Amino acid sequence: MPSPVKADATLGIGSPAPAIDVEHWLQDGKGFFKPVTKFEKGKVYVIEFWATWCGPCVMSMPHLAELQNQFRGQNVQIISVSDEEVEEVKEFLARENEELKQTFEQITSAYCLTTDPDRSVYKDYMDAAKQQGIPTSFIVGKDAHVEWIGHPMEMEEPLQKVVNDAWDREAFKKAMEAKQQLEAAIEQISKLAGAGKFDDAIKLVEKQITLTDDPSLIGNLKDFRASLMLSAGHVTDEVVQYYRERLADMKGNWMSLGQFGYSLTAVVQQGGKVGPLAAEAVAALAPIADKADPEAQPLVYHILAQLSKVDNKLDEAIAFQQKSVELSDDRQKKRMQLFLDELTPDKESENDEK
């Protein structure tokens, strides 16, 4: 057995896995498993962090039980760690899951469920790896090093590969570091945009696009860049063409077109410009507005009214908003009427100017 490892300031893929010092072991796989402090060579461990108040953690429990049963005879031990008091966890375990008609004690009985109120294990893993949300799982491989970090619902494939000695630790490490770098960049970009420094944010997005290999991530970054360009008032031919292609892709989809139209109105409300895109969004959405779900139609016509106002088509805006009011229920009607009332003085002012 390897000797206990003191947690580093940071914990990542390929790091030696810190020994664990869990205070209370409440489930042990019906006697199949023993409490663990040191990781045995040749065995695979999953250290999963959860809490009774965490909905996604609770939803992951049946999946963890399935995985433990699947790998039970293959030297795999799943250890779930809460930081709550023992009585709090025991009260939770006694409750029944209405859907499965079993108590949570029964649901989790296949694997090791523990609680560690002094949070020593949490600090050595979650804090050291800079993981902020639960549930989070760490796969500790046969050489007592961290192989994978992620959501337990996404763990089956990497766990299978680790067990079968087919896991590419270095490839995953590279991918995870790239993802973390991207997340840090997105946070910085969002802060710049929130401060109104759109041009700086655009430059940072463009730099990030050149550093990213994943096609889907590049697509998301290009969407982000185009939105920032509009927010900055840069309605270039390139940006307009980009959104025209998006509109073509959304043809006939009232929900996607409605969301796109709403995003355009938000840009304008925040001081940006959308150029000809307001009119083109109306042209794409208006013919299929009546195909939207009945409860969504008032909002769809309201979006069309807002876009028409942006495009200085007040007659169209009023007609769309009247339709919105007409279709609204009592709860919505007052709000929709307020916007219709806002449009009428604009129309009167336009007539006076003529």
In sequence order, what are the residues at sequence separation of 6 or more whose Cβ sits closer than 8 angstroms to the Cβ of residue 283? none
C-alpha span between 84 and 24 (Å, rounded): 10
Closest CA to 185 of 173, 195, 200: 200
Tell me how long the chain is. 354
Interatomic CA distance for residues 38 and 17, integer angstroms: 9
* 33-42: pLDDT as tens digits: 999 999 999 9
Closest CA to 305 of 350, 341, 348: 341
Q: Find where tokens 């029944």 sit.
A: 96
Q: Give the model confidence (pLDDT) of 203-228 as tens digits.
A: 999 998 998 887 878 888 999 999 99
Residue 7 has pLDDT above 60, yes or no: no
**Least confidently predicted of 65-69, 176-180, 334-338:** 176-180
Q: Is the pLDDT score of 303 beyond 60?
A: yes
pLDDT of residue 185: 87
Say what the pLDDT of residue 273 is.
95
The b/e string for 178-194 (b: 16+ C-beta within 10 A; e otherwise) is: eeeebeebbeebeebbe
pLDDT band for position 57 (50/70/90)? Answer: very high
Sequence-distant (≥ 6) Cβ neighbours of residue 296 within 8 angstroms: 254, 255, 258
Closest CA relative to residue 303, chosen from 327, 326, 287, 282: 282
DSSP 20-34: ---SEEEEETTTT--
Asked if pLDDT for residue 304 goes beyond 80, the answer is yes
* Cβ neighbours for 89, distance < 8 A, ≥ 6 positions apart: 24, 26, 52, 82, 113, 115
- Going by their DSSP bridges, the two strands 146-150 and 136-140 should be labelled as antiparallel
The confidence score (pLDDT) of residue 180 equals 79
Q: Residue 27: its pLDDT value, please?
A: 93
Q: Is the pLDDT of residue 90 over 60?
A: yes
Is the link from the previous residue into 117 a cis peptide, with omega within 30 of 0? no
The β-bridge relationship of strands 76-82 and 112-115 is parallel
Taking a C-beta distance cutoff of 8 angstroms, is the pair 205, 225 a contact? yes
- The per-residue pLDDT of the chain, averaged, comes to 91
Q: How far apart are CA 99 and CA 168, in angstroms?
A: 38
Confidence of residue 8 (pLDDT cuts 50, 70, 90): very low
Average pLDDT over residues 112-141: 95
